[in-house]
Amino acid sequence: MKAISICGPWWWYIMQGIKPVENRDWPSKYRGPLLIQVSQKILEADRVAAMDMAKRAGWTGRVPTPAELQDARGHIVGIVQMVDCVERHPSPFFTGRYGHVYAKPELFAKPIRCRGELNLFAVQDSLLPAGIGRPQSLPVERLDFSAALVGDTEPERRTFMGVDLAAKVEVDVSALRKSLASDPSQRRLF
C-alpha cells in the first residue's frame, strides 16, 4: 500500500478532517488509499502556524498536545483517500505549489511503527495488520469549506473536485458508547 510522510503537526490536522490538502512541490497522479506516516521532524513554528490556519478555517476544537505529536513520530497513524492533486484550493491550509487533496481520514486505534521516505512510498503488507482497509473510524468534527467556493448557488450540494464539502458525519452514538464501554483502551489513541 502507498504511504506518505508528513511532519508534525500537519498530520494531526489531516487525520482530524480539518486539513483537506497537503502541500507539496511535486504533483501526483496517484488516487486511492494512502497511509499517513508521521516523520521525525516537528518544528515549533509549524505547530504555531497550524493552530493559526485552523482558527482561520473556523476550527474551535482542541489542538494537539506536544506529547501527542512526539509519540506519533515514526509511526503510521491512519489512512486517507487521495482524491486529487490541485494547483488551487479554498482551504487556508493550501500554501504550496501543488496540493494533494485528501478525504475520509481514518485514525488507527494503534499506530504502526514505520520508517518514512521521501515522496510516496510502498509499505510492505507484512507490516500491516489484517483488515487495514477497514481501520477503526472515530467521530471527528468536520469543517465546511464550501463557503469559499465562488459562484455556488446550491448550498446543499457544494462539491469541490468531486468531494462533497457540505457532507455531515453521522455517528451511531449508542453503538459508539457500547464499544467504548466494552473496550476502554479505545478511548486513548496514543
Bond prior to 9 in cis (omega within 30° of 0): yes
pTM for the complete prediction? 0.66
- Domain definitions of the chain by residue range: 2-187
More confident of the two residues 171 and 15: 15
Q: Are 72 and 190 in contact (CB under 8 A)?
A: yes
- What is the percentage of the chain residues whose pLDDT exceeds 70? 67
Alpha-carbon distance 132 to 171, whole Å?
21
Q: Would residue 4 be called left, alpha or beta, if left means φ above 0 and alpha means ψ between -120 and 50 degrees?
A: beta
Q: Are 58 and 101 in contact (CB under 8 A)?
A: no
If you search the block for the grid coordinates 507484512, which residue do you land on?
Answer: 126
Weakest-pLDDT range from 13-27, 28-42, 69-83, 172-186: 172-186
* pLDDT, tens digit, 9 for 90 and up, residues 97-156: 999 999 999 998 889 888 888 889 999 877 776 666 543 444 443 444 444 444 444 444
Bond prior to 33 in cis (omega within 30° of 0): no
* pLDDT, tens digit, 9 for 90 and up, residues 158-180: 444 444 444 443 444 445 455 55
* Structure confidence at residue 112 (pLDDT): 87
For 2-187, which CATH superfamily applies? Hypothetical protein. (2.30.130.30)
More confident of the two residues 175 and 61: 61
